[in-house]
Amino acid sequence: MTKGSEKNILVLNGPNLNMLGTREPEIYGSETLSDIEKNMITLAEELGYAIDFRQSNSESELVGWIQDARGSSSAILLNAGAFTHTSVAILDALQAVDMPIIEVHLSNIFRREKFRHHSYVSPAANGVICGFGSNSYILALEAAHKILS
Instruction: Catalytic residue, from 49, 85, 105, 118: name it.
Output: 105
Whether 105 is catalytic is yes
Q: Are 17 and 34 in contact (CB under 8 A)?
A: no
In order of 9, 12, 139, the CA distances from 146 in angstroms are 13, 19, 11
Whether 85 is catalytic is no
Residue 127: beta bridge partners? 102
- Which residues form the catalytic set? 28, 105
